[in-house]
Amino acid sequence: MAVGIFDSGLGGLTVYQAAQERLPDVPFVYLGDHANTPYGVRDADDIYDLTTTCVSRLFEAGCDLVILACNTASAAALRRMQEGWVPSDKRVLGVFVPLIEALTERQWGDNSPPREVNVRHVALFATPATVRSRAFQRELAFRAIGVDVEAQACAGVVDAIEDGDMILAEALVRSHVEALKRKMPEPDAAVLGCTHYPMVEDDFRAAIGENVPVFSQPKLVAESLADYLERRPDMRGSGEVGMFLTTGDPQWVSDQATRFLRRRCEFHAA
């Protein structure tokens, strides 16, 4: 009954932690592609190849359902994977849709035409590859009309978080928020379009201003996953043991993950 969670590095641990808290009886297999992180500076074909390789490994671990807890992979590879790569008895889901459903206040499965919503000006903070893909805007257009999205490519933030340099990460966040606010001085909402960013969410909130609601993914994705598994219990895979896998150095990744999760976390070679 294992469910797979994939990320290019450590960021997906924010989704893993929220999902584990929401679904304590579900074993999760987490795979981080630390040997190739960050994905945000790669081209779409490279991201697709790396993502399919890692998701195949999660299928081998007994996961029939895999969550791409990586916005860059969701943006650059997910649609192509779903259209021609994912086996008929497997499912691969991304992290954009739960976020957009919350932003637009639309329930899962609401297939009514796009309509006006309460937000008009949205600030999107994401990796360069996610921004280039315009996947967020594409998914949003299926559900809402009249929403202006100003996207800010936050170069360097993922690297700083992966390296454990939170002082640099905070400085970069402030710089990127200032750059966005020069283009959109008064956003109605801010979206953190990378699962690394909850680790510096307080910095984003401080920089964007207390009157701007900030939408972050972990709990939204966890609730969406719980709803999905309730409707599709058959997608709980055959795997029964939760584990952490990495394409990088297991000892280094274990130490970094332990610092982020604040509990011992042992990664093994994928």
Model confidence pLDDT, tens digit, residues 54-109: 999 999 999 999 999 999 999 999 999 999 999 999 999 999 888 888 898 877 66
Q: How confident is residue 239, by pLDDT bands cut at 50, 70 and 90? A: confident
- Residue 117 corresponds to which amino acid? V
pLDDT by residue (tens digit) across 44-66?
A: 999 999 999 999 999 999 999 99
Are 225 and 69 a contacting pair, CB within 8 Å? no
Token pair recorded at residue 147: 């929403």
Choosing from 54, 63, 70, 154, the catalytic residue is 70
CA 5 to chain centre: 10
Active site residue 194: yes
Token pair recorded at residue 45: 């074909």
What CATH number matches the domain at 97-215, 3.40.50.1860, 3.40.50.2020, 2.60.120.10, 3.40.50.1820?
Answer: 3.40.50.1860
pLDDT mean over 32-37:
95
Specify the pairing of strand 28-32 against strand 65-68. Answer: unpaired
Q: How confident is residue 151, by pLDDT bands cut at 50, 70 and 90? A: very high
pLDDT at residue number 25: 92
Question: Is the CATH number of domain 3-94+218-269 3.40.50.1860?
Answer: yes
Choosing from 54, 154, 194, 265, the catalytic residue is 194
Active site residue 154: no
Q: Quick one: residue 164, left, alpha or beta (phi over 0 = left, psi -120 to 50 = alpha)?
A: left
* Closest to 147 (Cα-Cα) out of 119, 126, 125: 119
pLDDT at residue number 175: 98
Going from N- to C-terminal start, the domains of the chain cover 3-94+218-269, 97-215
**First vs last C-alpha separation in the chain:** 20
* ∠ CA 190-192-193, rounded to 5°: 125
Q: How confident is residue 233, by pLDDT bands cut at 50, 70 and 90? A: confident
Q: How far apart are CA 57 and CA 51, in angstroms?
A: 10
* Closest to 162 (Cα-Cα) out of 222, 76, 252, 242: 252
CA torsion angle 67 68 74 78 (round to 10): -70
pLDDT at residue number 29: 97
pLDDT at residue number 198: 93
Q: Which residue carries 């949003």 as its tokens?
A: 140
3-94+218-269 and 97-215 have identical folds: yes
* Chain mean pLDDT for the chain: 93
pLDDT by residue (tens digit) across 110-149?
A: 778 888 999 999 999 999 999 999 999 998 998 899 999 9
